[in-house]
Amino acid sequence: MSVPITPLADYVVAQALEAQTKTASGLYIPGGAQEKPKVVKVVVVGKDVKAVKAGDQIIFKGYSQTDIKVDGNDYILVKEEDIIATVKG
């Protein structure tokens, strides 16, 4: 997948994973009521990023990201210092 964004320094570009549309009990959640995903997938990293790589799933501090839309795709830019965990699996 070609990403039209090149992050500088210690920035990471990520994309949100699909939001949950059904609860554990089987109820469907309307689009406007869905929570923003807290786990995102890294698609490209800046040259100074050392802790994560493309393909990793990460959790980041709330309100620390920049949301942008390029060519119809939504991306999230996060500084490496705002990443608080990686998710296995």
**Which are the contacts of 61, defined by CB distance < 8 A and separation ≥ 6?**
82, 84
The CATH number for 2's domain is 2.30.33.40
pLDDT, position 15: 94
Q: Is residue 30 part of a domain?
A: no
Q: What is the pLDDT along the chain (89 residues), one digit of tens a residue?
A: 689 999 999 999 999 876 556 667 777 666 655 556 578 999 999 999 999 999 999 999 888 899 999 999 999 999 999 999 999 97
Structural domains counted in the chain? 1
Q: Is residue 46 part of a domain?
A: yes
Residue type at position 46: G
CB count, 10 Å around CB of 34? Answer: 12
pLDDT, position 25: 75
Q: Is residue 29 part of a domain?
A: no
Specify the pTM. 0.78
Q: Is residue 28 part of a domain?
A: no
Q: How, if at all, do strands 73-79 and 11-16 pair?
A: antiparallel
pLDDT, position 2: 84
For 47, the domain range is 1-19+35-89
Q: Is residue 44 part of a domain?
A: yes
